Structures are given as structure tokens and as C-alpha cells.
Structure 1
Amino acid sequence: MSRKHYDFTSESVSEGHPDKVADRISDEIVDLYFRESVKDGMSPWDIRVAAETLTTTNKVIIAGETRGSDRITPEMIIETARAAIKDIGYEQEGFHWKHADIDVLLHAQSADIAQGVDQGDGPTKEEGAGDQGIMFGYACSDTEDFMPAPVYYSHKILERLAKARKEEGVTQLGPDSKAQVTVAYRDRKPVHAKSIVLSTQHLDASLNSADIAKLVKPYVYEVLPDGWITEDTIWHINPTGKFVIGGPDGDTGLTGRKIIVDTYGGMAPHGGGAFSGKDSTKVDRSAAYATRYLAKNIVAAGLAPWVDIQLSYAIGVATPTSIYVNVDDANDVSGDVIERICREVMDLTPRGIRKHLNLNQPIFARTAAYGHFGRKPDADGGFSWEKTDLVEAIRAAL
């Protein structure tokens, strides 16, 4: 951003949004293949999953390509999908975890793709990228988790409502919801919420917009920074009046349709590839995680207040075809210097990324809602790309 004063808006959607239900099921299948195939003695380096999901009224269709244990049956996949739907909270007439009809159309990975991706089989004998493409990573100093404030707080609002619904007995709320926060930036710093839009499914049809506003506003106040909500903040809560029919019963969901929600809320570029349903040989996912990891560590190391990193790959080729770093023209450390540092502190081949971030694990279902970035690293290796353990190496490479 070159302007000093501006307003910026980002949105989030909840785990019960139909597209996010699809993402969750797809990522549960990735985890299933890693978990069960390793149990059966298969190397996690050899597991492949590319699972796409469609959700609509009491119907789920799962399609794609896999390589894993023969013990994983369509029945096991259906059971996995039902468990995910149940955990999200759908027990409604139009979409119920127990009664939804689920079709599994997964098949073996293409041999043509496999020969370019598997180590030892491609022309270079290295593990190549699972596809061509461009991936972007971004970090900034807006929040303690180095995320743009508008998308970060949009996520936090919906996470808080989910906790209220699932753990605190707020039974009036349904699983499907959307939030949108407009943040006012002054001198390029986020200072307050200009407007807040929130639409949440409710299971009591007698409630109106005013009732829902009274119910949810305290949670919004709780998650936004003190003083961010002012008397001038504009609110739109359930602006259509009622939102009873929601989730896949109200709208069809597809894996990968919320890629801006998944990343930086539009504050940074996106390469176009979705994350969910893909194992980490797919650089759409793993390289996006790597660029976020590098960007976050660069900002944490104090090299820039914000940084945007692009990687590009060719299918079957291990080495990135390019790396590009964008920082403010006035930044003390130039983009070309940071590019050099990125190459020095991390192996950016697909195999190098998978090894460095320890991505050959069943850690992906948890990423399916509330953003893949700006999360806390988990003790079991989840969100490893959110660690800031490269800070000293980056400073030493200057």
C-alpha cells in the first residue's frame, strides 16, 4: 500500500459455510490417508491425495485422486465425512450428518503425474512439484500474529461465535455464518473498525435482526482490540432479517472457493490455487505455506514492516522457476537482498519444504476454517509454518 490513510475490508466465513464444509471433508480425507497409510507401513513421502468435495441439500460428492493404503475403503471415507459434518454441527432436515447421501468417486493418481512427482522417476530424479503455478506469502506488523487486521479479526469474530455455539450452550446460533470487517488505517496503521458486517444462521425462526444483534455484539466487542469499536462504527447484523436455512441446504459448497478467506483477505496477491484436499507434494499448498513462513520470519526479524513473497514452479521440476520479494521502496533492506536470504535459509524444493515444515502428517483438517495463516503452532506439528524459528538465521544472513 502506498497510501498513508485508507479503509480496507476483508471477510471470513465459518466452518459451517457450505464451501468450508467441503474444505473440511476434503482435508479430513488427506488426514485419513496419512494416518491410516502410515499405520500400514507406507512411507508418508509416498502418500498422495487430491480430493474435491461438493455439498448440497443432504448430498455430498467426493471425487479426486489418491495413493495410499488399500485398507481405506469408500465406507471409511463416508464415515470420515459424516464425523466432520457432525463436528461442525449439522443436524438439520436439509443437511444432517447421519442422513446425508454421500458418494465417493476417488480413484488412483494419474501415472503421468506420478512419474514427474515421485523421487527417482522424473527426468531430474528429484521429487518434482505436483503442478505448475505461482504461490504468494505475506506478513505484516498489523497484529501480533503478523496478519492483516481486517481478515484476522473477521476470523476471530466467527471463531468466537463457534465457541459460544459449540461449548457455551448458545443454541440459538447455527453453524453457517459470515463476517466482514472494514478497518480504518491511519499512517498505515490499523486504528479502528469502520464497519462490521455479520450474518449468522439462527435456529429459532422467531428471532429478528435486532435479537441476533443483541446476542452476538458482546462477542464482537470481546475479540476486537479495546477502542476499535466507536460510536461511529457502522453495524450490519443479519441485514436480510432472517437466516434460518443455511449451510449446504441453502447454497451449494465446493472445495477451494474461499481461497482469499484462507489467506490474507485480499491484502496480498493470490496465485489462484486452493489448499484444501491436497497433500503437500502439491505446491499450491506447501509452497504457499513456505512463503508465509518466510514472510512471517522476515517481518519478525525486523527486516520490513510488511513483505510479499512469490514462488513459481513447473510440474515435475524440483527447483522453483523464480522467487520474487516485494517490500516498500523506502525499506532499509531491499527486495533482492531478502530474495537471497530466502534461498539461503530454506530449501524451497517440494521435498525441502515438506521436510522443513514436517508436512507429511495428518495436520490439515484443522486448517479448513478460520484461515490457514495467523494461527498458533500446535505441539503435534500443526501450523508449523507459523513458527518464527528462522529469525536468527535471517538476521545472520544479512
Structure 2
Amino acid sequence: MRSEYLFTSESVSEGHPDKVADQISDAIVDLFLSKDPEARIACETLTTTQLVVLAGEIRCKGVYENGEWAPGAQAEIEATVRRTVKEIGYEQDGFHWEKFEFINRLHGQSAHIAQGVDAADNKDEGAGDQGIMFGYATDETPDLMPATLYYSHKILEKMAADRHSGAAPFLEPDAKSQVTLRYEGSLPVAATAVVVSTQHAPGYDQGEKEAALHAYVKGVIAAVIPPVLLRETEYFINPTGSFEIGGPDGDAGLTGRKIIVDTYGGAAPHGGGAFSGKDPTKVDRSAAYISRYLAKNVVAAGLATRCTIQLAYAIGVSKPLSLYVDTHETGTVGDDKIEAAILSLPELGGLTPRAIRTRLGLNKPIYRPSAAYGHFGRKPEGDFFPWERTDLVASLKAALD
């Protein structure tokens, strides 16, 4: 590892057009799972000026069966979409929760996919797709996340909370942040640059109002990033000048275009698959969650200060094709021993798709909160964010004794 270097991660707010699309897609996942825990959903969303379009494949008891919509189902889907946009806060001329055109092009799941994924006779349920998934953890922050992404998320979370509460009424929903940290060894020692671009009310791009907006953003940054890291920081706040037109009116949004924001901010590999809009039979989602769970528990157990885990699957096959552990030369035991310990744990059930969902309780309507401010580094509460628990520590240690 280099002794000194700069690293940068970005985040986007819940009002970013791609994140609006992600939240709509996951609101549909939650709606379907609330009615049928075995529902199959692959929901893509497009957002643009006064338009939301859904497309994808579904199967859900009480909603869509045998090629037919249940009475009232499409109206409930539209109501869910409009409620999601309203809760984000869009009531603008170019994108208003009550006024946008809505098009639903969801249709039945392919029978050829279903035959590979569904359990039958003595065949275990297979993975919903092929692919590689990565999990990562580092001791840089209390939530075992890369500090650059952690601070980027927290800045926007704080701004969104202030917007919703009325403490910052000049803010509009769309925003981005970016944090650059200087590292010495594996530890961040200074924030050299912080970028925040936020959509704002008219007039906040000049004079006293602009100065007030800049002062507010700097105050948020100071509340999020420890003062010891801010001694040499260069600030870039709305560097283009004006940012009144934003959200889906300013740029089209699509589900799954912010996968690095969703995961580790570029500090770890990404398998390439998006999470939002997919039910947990899709290993793009569930195997990425269990990989994070495993990596976090490895670090929480003191077996390493950094850990990357890769899993690979084939569509229709229940057993993972490979498990790879890399502790980046920070491990207290060999990486091969950690791999063997993971595979030996009966509570993980061989890391089959069904075992993953059982261990983490993924067949529940828990996904919309994950669709903004990162799927990882969140606080596990009740059924939400179960992949952030560290309840595997004792089992890992025992398996390595």
C-alpha cells in the first residue's frame, strides 16, 4: 500500500433523477413482497420531465398471475409511484408528483427464467441470474465503510433532513456531494476537497442569498466531517453558479445507474449488477448483501482491518461457483482459512440463494430505504438492513479456533 495518496468518492441525494428511479423501483418491490413473499420482480424505472415509465418482468400472487392483473392492482401501483415521488419532495413545474404522466409496462416473468429459478421436486431453488458479486468492509469508520463515501452520504442525508423539516427551505431535492481525503497508510488524515452541488430556490445563486446557501452547506460539512480533517479543505459549492432546474426535469433518470454510489464509492470492486428493482432471488442483490455481511463480520471479528469478498453464481444453479476472500495483507489468519470457515458455517446454508434470503430475512418489504444514501454502512433496525448486522462474529471466531 502507498504511504500517501488521495482518494475520492461521490454521493447523490434522494432527489437525483437516477435515485428517484431507484426509489420508485424499490417501492414496487416492497409493494409486491408485502403481498407475496415469493414474488418475482425486475422493475426498471425511467424518469424525465413530467413522465415516469415502469418496465420489467413480474409475478405476484394477488397482483399479477397467469398473465392477468388483479382488480385495482394497476391503480395501486400508480398510487405507490406517486406517493414515492411526493415523499421525496417533487412539486415543481417540470416534475410534480400529482401531475406527471405515468406509463406501466410491467409484464409477466419469462417462463424460461422461472423454470431455472423455482424449486421443483428434488431441485433446490436456483440463482436468478449468473454473475459476480462483491462485499467490502474497512475499519476507517464506525460503520466499517470507506470514509470518503461515508462522509459524502452523511452530508446529503443531513441536507435532506433539513429540507424535509423546514430548517433549510431554500433547498430543493436534487443534490450531489463529493469528498476527497488524503490518506497516510490506511488512515484518512485530511479532507483536501469537498464538492456540494444542490438544487435551490430562485435567487440563491447571487448576493446575500447565495452567501447564506454557501454558509449553510459549509456548516453541514463541518457537522459531518471531523474538524481535524478540515484544516486544509478547498470547498466547491454549486461551482456552476445556478442550480434551479434539477431532478428528472433537468436530466433523465434510470434505475441502476448509481451502483458505485450504492456500494463502496469506488474503494472496492463491483460486480456490475444493480440492486434496486430486483427481488432477492436475483443474486445481483442478495449475494451482494451477503458478501457485505461476511466482509463486515470478518472485520468486526478482528480477523482483518480490510476485507473484500467475491461470490459467483450461474443462473438456475443453487450452489455458488466460487468464494474468494482477500484481506489485503491485513488478516490475522490466512485468507484461505477464512474461506473455509465461512463455508463450514451451518447457519449460512452453503450460501445458496434460499439460504441467503433465510439468513438475512430478505423476503420482506424492506428495500425502499436502501435506494438512497447507500445500501451499506446503514444502521440495522428491525427488519431493515439485516446485512449490516455483526451477529456472525462469534461463529467465525469459533470456526477458526
Q: How does 1:53-202 map to 2 (within 5 A)?
A: 53-68=45-60, 69-70=62-63, 71=70, 73-120=73-120, 125-202=123-200
Which residue of 2 is the match for residue 359 of structure 1? Answer: 362
Q: CA deviation at 1:61?
A: 0.4
Distance 2:331 2:143 in 1: 21
- The offset of 1:168, in angstroms, is 3.6
Given the alignment of the two structures, is residue 228 of structure 1 paired with residue 220 of structure 2, yes or no?
Answer: no
Say if 2:305 and 2:330, in contact at 8 Å, map to a contact too: no
Residue 180 of structure 2 contacts residue 191 of structure 2 at CA under 8 Å; is this kept in 1?
Answer: yes
SS in 1 for 2:28: helix
Q: TM-score of the superposition, structure 1-length normalised?
A: 0.95
**1: CA distance, partners of 2:214 / 2:344:** 51
**CA–CA separation in structure 1 for the residues paired with 2:334 and 2:181:** 28
Residue by residue over 1:252-290, the C-alpha shift from the partner in whole angstroms, topping out at 9 and shown as x without a partner, is 000000000000000000000000000000000000000
Q: Which residue of 1 aligns with 2:377?
A: 374
TM-score by length of 2: 0.94
Alpha-carbon displacement from aligned partner over 1:278-333 (angstroms, at most 9, x marks no partner): 00000000000000000000000000000000000000000000111112236331
Does residue 22 (structure 1) correspond to residue 21 (structure 2)? The answer is: yes
TM-align CA RMSD: 1.2
| Structure 2 contact 261–374 (Cα < 8 Å) conserved | yes
Residue 310 of structure 1 is matched in structure 2 by 310
Looking at structure 1, the residues matched to 96 and 203 of structure 2 have their Cα atoms a distance apart, in angstroms, of: 19
Counterpart position of 1:260: 260
Q: Which segment drifts farther, 165-174 or 98-107?
A: 165-174
Offset of residue 227 of structure 1: 1.5
Mapping for residues 208-287 of structure 1, pairs under 5 Å:
208=206, 210-230=211-231, 232-287=232-287
CA offset at residue 223 of structure 1?
Answer: 1.1
Separation of aligned partners in 1, 2:171 and 2:235: 19
Secondary structure of 2:85's partner? helix
Q: Within 2, Cα distance between the matches of 1:210 and 1:197? A: 16
2:333 is the counterpart of 1:341: no
Unaligned runs of 5+ in 1: 39-43
Which one-letter code corresponds to 2:16 in the other structure? H
Hey, what does 1:41 align to over in structure 2? none
| CA–CA distance in structure 2, aligned partners of residues 83 and 27 of structure 1 | 13
* Shift of residue 222, structure 1, vs aligned partner: 0.6
1:391 is aligned, of 387, 390, 393, to 393
SS in structure 2 of the partner of residue 191 of structure 1 = strand
Cα shift at 1:378: 1.3
Deviation at 1:342, TM superposition (A): 1.6
Give ranges in structure 2 of 5+ residues lacking alignment. 64-69
8 Å contact 2:289–2:387 — kept in the other structure? yes
Aligned partners of 2:270 and 2:380: how far apart in 1?
Answer: 23
Aligned equivalent of 1:11: 10
Return closer, same or farther for 1:354/1:211 CA change in 2, 3 Å cut-off: same
Distance 1:206 1:199 in 2: 12
Aligned mates of 2:127, 2:361 — CA distance in 1: 17
- Is residue 314–residue 321 contact of structure 2 (8 Å, CA) maintained in 1? yes
Deviation at 1:224, TM superposition (A): 1.1
Task: Give the distance between the partners of 1:391 and 1:226, measured in 2 at CA.
Answer: 33
For 2:204 and 2:141, how far apart are their aligned partners in 1? 39
Amino acid aligned to 1:56: T
Give 3-state SS (helix, strand or coil) of 2:221's partner: helix
Structure 1 residue 192 displacement after superposition? 2.1
Equivalents in 1 of 2:315, 2:286: separation in Å? 14
Contact 1:212 1:238 in 2 (8 A): no
What CA distance in whole angstroms lies between the structure 2 residues aligned with 1:187 and 1:354? 37
Greater displacement, 81-90 / 330-339 = 330-339
In structure 1, the residue corresponding to 2:115 is in which secondary structure? Answer: helix
